[in-house]
Structure 1
């Protein structure tokens, strides 16, 4: 199995990039944990509304703007992923500094592009 990935800001809407990312991650054999304000389902991936605890997550990929991220800071730091991907529009220098200070790589990138070029 690939890198277990937490998608924050997941959406059932096929037009949303978070939805496309879930599908692309799954088609590249990565396990997906999805989180959003509303429960839902993207193929076989259940969108949860409570932050996962005790999960061994390699990567967190953000699809929520910086104004909505502070509520996730503590939970993400506790999760201790190897990296957090700030997708376009989610860039947050304040949080990136906090992540790096805790030994977590902060990466400004696009999950879909990383997957498409085999660089995930």
Structure 2
């Protein structure tokens, strides 16, 4: 089953994990919604400017590739996307946002999207 996934911190830089996540999510037939501060495209999808707080319906997962020090101003926005879960990839763990998400019934995982995809656990 396809899970529409927001890639928070999307980039066109192939050396970054957010880029690899976009590639692997597409390879596993998941719809991607890349959001970040850099312009460009990843695997046929435009990177949407986080500063405009773009909204999309039917978000299943938000996978975080923004460090916790840069998440604070976006916490309410991320919650407003109403995802079913948020995956905090290594280095993006944020207890404050995790708590806010949990109280809204959003599943919170401190995990690695790439490992989850590789193990069939996504």
TM-score category by the smaller chain? over 0.9
Aligned residues: 120
> What aligned pairs does 1:59-70 form with structure 2 within 5 A after superposition?
59-70=61-72
Q: How big is the alpha-carbon RMSD for the aligned residues of Structure 1 and Structure 2?
A: 1.0
- Report the counterpart of residue 13 of structure 1 in structure 2: 13
> What aligned pairs does 1:41-120 form with structure 2 within 5 A after superposition?
41-49=41-49, 50-120=52-122
Poorly superposed stretches of 4+, deviation over 4 Å: none
Partners of 1:4 and 1:54 in 2: CA distance: 10
Contact kept, 8 Å, 2:34 with 2:42, in 1: the verdict is no
**Displacement of 1:76 after TM fit?**
1.4
Unaligned runs of 5+ in 2: none
- Report the counterpart of residue 32 of structure 1 in structure 2: 32
Partners of 1:13 and 1:53 in 2: CA distance: 24
Unaligned runs of 5+ in 1: none
CA deviation map 1:20-58 (0-9, x unaligned) = 000000000000000111111112121110332142100
